[in-house]
């Protein structure tokens, strides 16, 4: 088990209306320096399909995509002990100041990717933000029980 610190800045604009939270960046995302960077993670494929747009490949394209759709990205945790990218192994969680980010934006909805992020947010952060976290299934390659089509269907709640 390794102590991991959240090394990525939150991605947001003052105009952001939706916040999508993971638990903590994967080793690949920390290495690349941006969210959902593992090549098998389906996050970007799901969003591209959902918004009927071309898959953003470059970091700049991803940022422009998020800005266009008023989406902010961050994670619930600022640090924790974890085995690799296994959310189920998280111990000693410390939390990001999500309330501060929300106060600096137009965010009205908070979505969490995966059960761990959902549970951590609603149990430890919601009382500060006063915004209920909405569960979205993980797009991680570990969550292979849902097809790309099924994941995209689950993510349609972002459009409402």
Q: What is the pLDDT of residues 100-112, one digit of tens each?
A: 999 999 999 999 9
Domain boundary assignment for the chain: 2-159
Mean model confidence pLDDT for the chain: 95
Decide if 24 contacts 74 (C-beta within 8 A).
no
Q: Give the pLDDT confidence score for residue 85 in this predicted structure.
A: 84
CATH 3.40.470.10 is held by the domain 2-159: yes
H helical segments located in 1-125 = 27-32, 43-50, 59-68, 98-103, 115-124
Cα Rg of the chain (Å, integer): 14
Count CB atoms within 10 A of the CB of residue 106: 14
Q: Give the pLDDT confidence score for residue 143 in this predicted structure.
A: 77
Mean of the pLDDT values across residues 45-50?
Answer: 98
Mean of the pLDDT values across residues 37-64?
Answer: 96
H helical segments located in 104-159 = 115-124, 126-129, 148-155
Residue 144 banded pLDDT, cuts 50, 70, 90 = confident
pLDDT in tens, 59-103: 999 999 999 999 999 999 999 999 988 888 999 999 999 999 999
Decide if 117 contacts 21 (C-beta within 8 A).
yes
Residue 41 banded pLDDT, cuts 50, 70, 90 = very high
């Amino acid at each position: 088990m390794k102590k991991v610190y959240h090394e990525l800045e939150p991605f947001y604009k003052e105009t952001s209306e939706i916040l999508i939270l993971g638990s903590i960046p994967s080793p690949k995302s920390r290495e690349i320096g941006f969210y959902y960077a593992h090549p098998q993670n389906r996050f970007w494929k799901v969003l591209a399909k959902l918004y009927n747009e071309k898959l953003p490949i470059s970091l700049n394209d991803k940022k422009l995509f998020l800005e266009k759709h008023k989406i902010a990205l961050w994670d619930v945790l600022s640090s924790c002990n974890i085995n690799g990218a296994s959310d189920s192994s998280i111990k000693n969680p410390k939390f990001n100041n999500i309330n501060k980010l929300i106060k600096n934006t137009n965010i009205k909805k908070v979505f969490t990717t995966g059960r761990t992020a959902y549970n951590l947010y609603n149990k430890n952060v919601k009382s500060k933000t006063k915004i209920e976290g909405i569960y979205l299934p993980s797009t991680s390659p570990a969550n292979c029980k849902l097809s790309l089509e099924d994941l995209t269907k689950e993510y349609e709640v972002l459009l409402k």
